[in-house]
Structure 1
Amino acid sequence: RRYAIDCSKIERDLGWRPAETWATGFDRTVAWYLSHSEWCAQVRSGDYQKWIAAHYG
């Protein structure tokens, strides 16, 4: 079974609209990860978990 967010109630009741479409949000997310490859490598290497432990216990 697949799930998808249905924003129709919040759109109707509050007049809210998402800032991005799914496609533009996906494109921007991919672009962010591509431009932050050093951070991604640190997360994959375990350095990020060490940083979290050092700063947040």
Structure 2
Amino acid sequence: MELTDEQWEVLRPHVPGPERQRTSAKGGRPWRDPQDVLNGILWVLRTGAPSADLPGRYPPY
């Protein structure tokens, strides 16, 4: 089960987008779609599996 579009719309204002993220002179990690990241976190919590076992549809941990 993943977040529906309606659920995501409720959460979206509370999640920083790429324009609101801090940037570092050192670069940092590449930007990932926050909805995909949150769905990956929910998958780990729901399954109890380690994040190393995330399916390919979610961004790498």
**TM over 0.5, shorter chain:** no
Q: Which has the higher relative contact order, 1 or 2, with Cα contacts under 8 A spaced 6 or more apart? A: 2
User: Looking at CA atoms only, which structure, 1 or 2, has the larger radius of gyration?
Assistant: 1
Shorter chain as denominator, the TM-score bin is 0.3 to 0.5
TM-score by length of 2: 0.35
TM-score (norm 1): 0.37
